[in-house]
Amino acid sequence: MQSNTANTASSTFQGNALAAFSFLLWGLMPLYYQFLPNADINELLAFRILFSVPFMALVFILLGRSMPSLAELKADKRSVLLCGLASLIMCVSWYSFTWAMTHGQVLAASLGFFINPLFAIALGVLFLGDKLSAAQKMAVVLGICGISYMVYSYGELPWLALSMGSFFALYGLCKKFIRFDSLTSVTVEALLLMPVAAIYLMWLWGSDQSVVISSAMSGELATLLLYIGSAPVTLMPLVFFALAIRATSLSMIGLMQYVEPSLQFLLAVLVFNEHFDQVKAVSFALIWTGLLLCSLEALPKLRKKTKAPV
């Protein structure tokens, strides 16, 4: 009994460590994109998709697993179609995120990931029949108040943050119905989009519109390598996250997910000196209060689940 308990505790600790590391990597991602100011987002996204496939193939090799076979994919065509839908949804979210990273809008990205759980809660109620707790209801109300105050003060919606938060929540909802494991589904998503990305890059090259490829042909490889590197940089946290899910609870992951936007917020304000005025302070405070209420509500349940058996 003691041996099993020790093994479970060790596995849980490893899972928590992997989850924390994945959110840490996501949170520090703005540092990488500072080397790509005003990047061509379409071309950058195409490079990310194209080089995601060989990177995921390397991950499967390192984990001692085989890539999904054609027979496996044919056996579950519904999941393949859902992977296609998920990949398109993720493109919108990543397009918004990458634009924010490369155009001095890290604060908007942080806001997007802070409000993402609120969108996820709403989608859970609408499509999965979830029932809201008192804390979740208050979090949604406070989130709406925070966004409304920003709209009232600035006279416009924070489209960048809203598109990131909403489409990432839609991506999560779509993944609920995919029967492949996390690594396989991410690989299938990249495989489905790879031909489009390859054709787009070839068209850019053929029409002499790709500054990145043209500069690489001239011997300047730095920007090309940074564009290619966007694939492993964005997928590495996802790999660690997928490994963490097997060894820790969703409640713990739900609490730790705020590491990512918190780090992005600190980088935006303290490192990149983005403007943080009274309006943003009030809006963030309202959203943070709602998320704090949800976290405090989840802690007692988490303690019960992680309490070692006697």
Instruction: Give me the pLDDT at residue 304, please.
Output: 61
* 282 or 250, which is more confident: 282
Q: Would you say residue 225 lies in a domain?
A: no
Task: Tokens 């839609």: give the residue.
Answer: 170
Query: CA 205, CA 93: separation in Å to the nearest integer?
Result: 26
Mean pLDDT score, 151-173: 88
Q: Would you say residue 220 lies in a domain?
A: no
* 218 or 248, which is more confident: 218
Residue 188: domain span: 7-194+231-306
Query: Residue 300: pLDDT above 50?
Result: yes
Query: CA 184, CA 67: separation in Å to the nearest integer?
Result: 8
Query: Residue 5: pLDDT above 60?
Result: no
List, for residues 115-136, the tens digit of each pLDDT value: 888 888 888 888 878 787 888 8
With the C-alpha atoms ordered 37, 38, 41, 44, is the resulting torsion angle positive or negative? Answer: negative
| Tally of structural domains, the chain | 1
Q: Would you say residue 108 lies in a domain?
A: yes
Distances in whole angstroms, Cα of residue 64 to Cα of each of 58, 60, 187, 234, 274: 10, 6, 16, 22, 44
Instruction: Give me the pLDDT at residue 246, please.
Output: 63
Q: Would you say residue 211 lies in a domain?
A: no
Q: Would you say residue 209 lies in a domain?
A: no
